[in-house]
Amino acid sequence: MLDQPASPLTFNRLLLTGAAGGLGRELRARLKRYCTALRLSDIADLGPAGAGEECVQLDLADAAGVLQLMQGVDAVVHMGGISTEQPWAPILAANIVGIYNLYEAARKNGVKRVIFASSNHVMGFYRQDQVVDADSPPRPDGLYGLSKAFGEDVARLYWDRYGIETVVVRIGSSFPEPRDRRMLATWLSYDDLERLVVAGLTAPVVGWSVVYGISDNRTAWYDNTKARHIGYRAQDSSDVHRDAVEARQPKIDLADPAAIYQGGAFVRTGPFE
């Protein structure tokens, strides 16, 4: 967690969806300093509410429940939904119906900013010898990536039509440290994740913007030049882990699609095969 005082740009109430997930649990503790009340939601049990917390166990496919969830909210950090390759039915409910419900609830409640956790898997069928930016056309690597691309389009529609601003964060690989050589390019530290979310919440104007969720890695497939207006500056790097990662994985099989495409193993797995 960043060792810094609370930002003067605080919110009355922030909503964090997907708060029981891996990154949701990280952000649960980190976002408290930026708001008076932190409302947490997930389909899973969130445990007891801490000081300044409001816990709501909810399925994002429940439109009426999401509408109520959004009441009194200043901004949303949307981490909820399916985060891995799954059969179509759960992805449809959580990532397609769920994202529509979220933006409709934001519109009806007057919420004007969303941080949307999209994914690098929206771009998964670009090769690892290519660099993409915010204007590169999506190339999803599976149903999960496809659902996130849909969510990005929903966010853009609600910006164009209703003025709800969204920072689309195409998260790379956010773990305590990179697990393999692919993650030397896609790694996002937890501290940089916090920096990115807070930048997205507090930037004066974002409209509909795409930023790639990565740290300041020497190897990178994502160019964030067109997202500089958000004010995100990564301070960590996967390079401190490079020697250990390369020792664990000294060779790469270039016949393996996971070593060719940015989506890694997602390009060759999926229940729809």
Residues labelled catalytic:
144
Q: How many residues does this entry show for the chain?
A: 273
Cβ proximity of 167 and 206 under 8 Å:
yes
The Cα–Cα gap between 101 and 94 comes to 10
Kindly tell me the burial class for residue 164, based on how many C-beta atoms sit within 10 Å of its own C-beta (0-12, 13-18, 19 or more). Answer: buried
The Cα–Cα gap between 155 and 259 comes to 31
- Per-residue DSSP letter, 187: B
**Amino acid found at 257:** P
82 half-sphere exposure, CB direction, 13 A CA radius: 25
Q: Which residue has the tokens 């408290």?
A: 32
The Cα–Cα gap between 8 and 6 comes to 6
Number of C-beta neighbours around residue 71 at 10 A: 14
Run of H or E including 16 = strand 11-17
Q: Which residue has the tokens 């969720």?
A: 213
C-alpha closest to that of 115 among 187, 168, 156: 168
C-alpha closest to that of 212 among 128, 153, 136, 150: 136
